[in-house]
């Protein structure tokens, strides 16, 4: 698609109130954004702010398609600098969307891209309880997507305490041999990242910062149940799973 065609699509989003036309225009822009040259063109045409403005649309399908378009556009560092202003709004959309809906997943996919670097992690701190709720209550598809966000956040030492303070009563249920491999592996990476960051911190008085039902007590404070689950997972058939278990046990 050339710049003229992209400009017409962006203009169409500005002038039409027809949700079906909005959806189709957003789908076309989203597909076009799969090409890096178009990511720059759309940004230079002020397309990011126009698409971003549609996140607040009251029609879920339009909002979902806007999030999908921003997701493809966020593969570009310069675009991320503009898209980051919508992170709080995207987090709100994820929280308010029906559980396991396409709208919720679209928001999580965008947050996954926006959390690949640590630049915008601080904008997601208030949504950590929401992410962990989705981890407990969501379908496998939702769990995988929210774990991608949590793994990205857990790799950042500045986010460690925010994550460890949170409460997820069902967290240990993810560390079972029968769990979907993609979920199990990401849950192990999440735990390994947190344990690594805790170890590198000054541990003096660190326990006093966390409640007994926090992730810290579940994963990091000599948890017999967690240790037993890890020992069992050493016999898991998947090599990557076993590597992450060893990574946790040797920290």
Q: What is the pLDDT of residues 156-213, one digit of tens each?
A: 999 999 999 999 889 999 999 999 999 999 999 999 999 999 887 755 456 667 888 8
Ramachandran area for residue 222 (φ above 0: left; ψ -120 to 50: alpha; else beta)? left
Looking at the domain assignment, is residue 27 inside a domain? Answer: yes
Q: Would the pLDDT of 243 be above 60?
A: yes
Q: Would the pLDDT of 220 be above 90?
A: no
Give the pLDDT confidence score for residue 166 in this predicted structure: 94
Query: What share of the chain in percent tops pLDDT 70?
Result: 96
Give the pLDDT confidence score for residue 207 in this predicted structure: 62
Q: Which of 114, 142, 163 is the last residue of a domain?
A: 114
Q: 68 and 135 in one domain?
A: no
Give the pLDDT confidence score for residue 114 in this predicted structure: 98
Looking at the domain assignment, is residue 28 inside a domain? Answer: yes
Q: 107 and 148 in one domain?
A: no
Q: Distances from the Cα of 240 to the Cαs of 101, 118, 181, 189, 236, in angstroms?
A: 30, 25, 10, 10, 9
Q: Would the pLDDT of 25 be above 60?
A: yes
Q: 195 and 140 in one domain?
A: yes
Residues 76-89, mean pLDDT to the nearest whole number:
97
Residues 115-136, mean pLDDT to the nearest whole number:
97
Q: 145 and 102 in one domain?
A: no
Q: Which of 93, 114, 135 is the last residue of a domain?
A: 114
Looking at the domain assignment, is residue 174 inside a domain? Answer: yes
Q: Is 120 exposed, middle or buried (CB count within 10 Å of its CB: 0-12, 13-18, 19+)?
A: middle
Q: 165 and 240 in one domain?
A: yes
Q: CATH number, domain at 237?
A: 1.25.10.10
Q: 145 and 86 in one domain?
A: no
Helix count and strand count (H, E) for the chain: 15, 0
Residues 218-238, mean pLDDT to the nearest whole number:
91
Looking at the domain assignment, is residue 122 inside a domain? Answer: no
Looking at the domain assignment, is residue 119 inside a domain? Answer: no
Greatest distance between any 2 Cα atoms in the chain: 63
Looking at the domain assignment, is residue 121 inside a domain? Answer: no
Q: 162 and 88 in one domain?
A: no
Q: How confident is the model at residue 24 (pLDDT cuts 50, 70, 90)?
A: very high
Looking at the domain assignment, is residue 180 inside a domain? Answer: yes
Q: Is 2 exposed, middle or buried (CB count within 10 Å of its CB: 0-12, 13-18, 19+)?
A: exposed
Q: Which domain holds residue 17?
A: 1-114
Q: 232 and 201 in one domain?
A: yes
Q: 199 and 87 in one domain?
A: no
Q: Which of 217, 249, 230, 214 is nearest to 175 (CA)?
A: 230
Contact between 33 and 69 (Cβ < 8 Å): yes
Q: 214 and 136 in one domain?
A: yes
Ramachandran area for residue 46 (φ above 0: left; ψ -120 to 50: alpha; else beta)? left
Give the pLDDT confidence score for residue 222 in this predicted structure: 66
Report the domain count for the chain: 2
Give the pLDDT confidence score for residue 246 in this predicted structure: 97
Q: 80 and 38 in one domain?
A: yes
Q: Which of 85, 114, 143 is the last residue of a domain?
A: 114
Residues 61-90, mean pLDDT to the nearest whole number:
97
Give the chain's length.
251
Q: 133 and 103 in one domain?
A: no
């Amino acid at each position: 698609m050339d710049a003229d065609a992209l400009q017409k699509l962006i203009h169409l989003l500005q002038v039409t109130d027809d949700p079906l036309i909005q959806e189709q225009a957003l789908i076309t822009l989203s597909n076009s954004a799969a090409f890096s040259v178009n990511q720059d063109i759309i940004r230079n045409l002020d397309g990011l702010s126009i698409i971003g403005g549609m996140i607040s649309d009251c029609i879920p399908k339009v909002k979902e398609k806007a999030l999908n378009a921003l997701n493809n556009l966020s593969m570009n560092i310069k675009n991320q600098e503009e898209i980051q202003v919508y992170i709080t709004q995207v987090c709100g959309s994820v929280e308010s969307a029906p559980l396991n809906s396409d709208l919720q997943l679209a928001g999580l996919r965008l947050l996954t891209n926006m959390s690949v670097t640590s630049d915008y992690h601080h904008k997601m701190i208030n949504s950590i309880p929401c992410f962990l709720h989705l981890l407990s209550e969501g379908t496998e598809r939702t769990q995988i997507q929210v774990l991608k966000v949590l793994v990205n956040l857990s790799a950042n030492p500045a986010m460690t305490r925010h994550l460890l303070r949170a409460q997820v009563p069902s967290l240990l249920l993810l560390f079972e041999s029968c769990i979907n491999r993609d979920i199990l592996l990401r849950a192990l990476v999440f735990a390994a990242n947190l344990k690594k960051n805790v170890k590198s911190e000054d541990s003096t008085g660190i326990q006093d910062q966390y409640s007994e039902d926090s992730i810290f007590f579940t994963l990091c404070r000599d948890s017999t149940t967690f240790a037993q689950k890890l020992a069992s997972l050493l016999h898991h058939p998947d090599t990557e799973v076993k590597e992450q278990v060893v990574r946790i046990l040797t920290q």
